[in-house]
């Protein structure tokens, strides 16, 4: 069975954290919600709220200081770092061949990953000719396509 690890990296917004978590918890294929480099109000009040949601939905959550920690711990076959700033388009047909996928979205406005973080996986965009979509919107687009492929409805 496919394992999808759904990540949000470098976030400070409590609301973005809650919205992203609700999306992840409502998709049966998401095995873990992975949060890395959480700061500000997201760390202070958001993480405790997400823990309550995780318990309510019976979903596991993993909170780690850095993205590399998540990759070392989970050992995914493929790590996708999603940003509309990336030049390379995601190849869903190639991605779906893997059984253990870590997909990570940026928690920052205008999302992106620094050069060191980009070297930890494939730096990809989901949509052509679209800029400045937040993590929740990009994650929704990704999940629609992923669900179609996994459930064989394409």
Reduced to 3 states (helix: H, G, I; strand: E, B; else coil), residue 133 is coil
Q: Are 12 and 42 in contact (CB under 8 A)?
A: yes
Give the pLDDT score at 112: 76
Of 92 and 133, which is predicted with more confidence? Answer: 92
Residues 23-44: what's their mean pLDDT?
A: 95
* CA–CA gap between residue 149 and residue 154 (Å, rounded): 6
Look at residue 154 and tell me whether its pLDDT is greater than 60. no
Look at residue 2 and tell me whether its pLDDT is greater than 60. yes
Q: Are 83 and 132 in contact (CB under 8 A)?
A: no
* CA–CA gap between residue 139 and residue 136 (Å, rounded): 5
pTM equals 0.93
| Architecture of the domain defined by 3-150 | 3-Layer(aba) Sandwich (3.40)
Q: How confident is the model at residue 152 (pLDDT cuts 50, 70, 90)?
A: confident
Residues 1-7: what's their mean pLDDT?
A: 90
Return mean pLDDT, the chain.
92
What does the pLDDT look like over 81-129, one tens digit per residue?
999 888 999 999 999 999 999 999 999 877 779 999 999 999 999 987 7
Reduced to 3 states (helix: H, G, I; strand: E, B; else coil), residue 51 is helix
Could you tell me which of 67, 124, 74 has the C-alpha nearest to residue 99?
74
Look at residue 49 and tell me whether its pLDDT is greater than 70. yes
Give the pLDDT score at 153: 64
Q: Domain locations in the chain?
A: 3-150
Of 64 and 111, which is predicted with more confidence? Answer: 64
């Amino acid at each position: 069975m496919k394992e999808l690890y759904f990540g949000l990296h470098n976030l400070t917004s409590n609301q973005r954290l809650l919205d992203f978590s609700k999306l992840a918890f409502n998709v049966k294929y998401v095995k873990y919600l992975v949060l890395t480099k959480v700061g500000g109000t997201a760390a202070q009040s958001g993480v405790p709220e997400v823990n309550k949601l995780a318990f309510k939905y019976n979903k596991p959550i993993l909170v780690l200081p850095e993205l590399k920690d998540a990759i070392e711990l989970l050992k995914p076959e493929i790590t996708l770092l999603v940003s509309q700033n990336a030049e390379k388009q995601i190849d869903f047909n190639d991605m779906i061949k893997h059984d253990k996928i870590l997909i990570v979205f940026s928690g920052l406005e205008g999302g992106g990953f620094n050069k060191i973080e980009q070297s930890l996986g494939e730096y990809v965009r989901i949509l052509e000719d679209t800029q400045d979509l937040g993590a929740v919107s990009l994650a929704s687009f990704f999940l629609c396509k992923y669900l179609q492929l996994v459930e064989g409805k394409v």
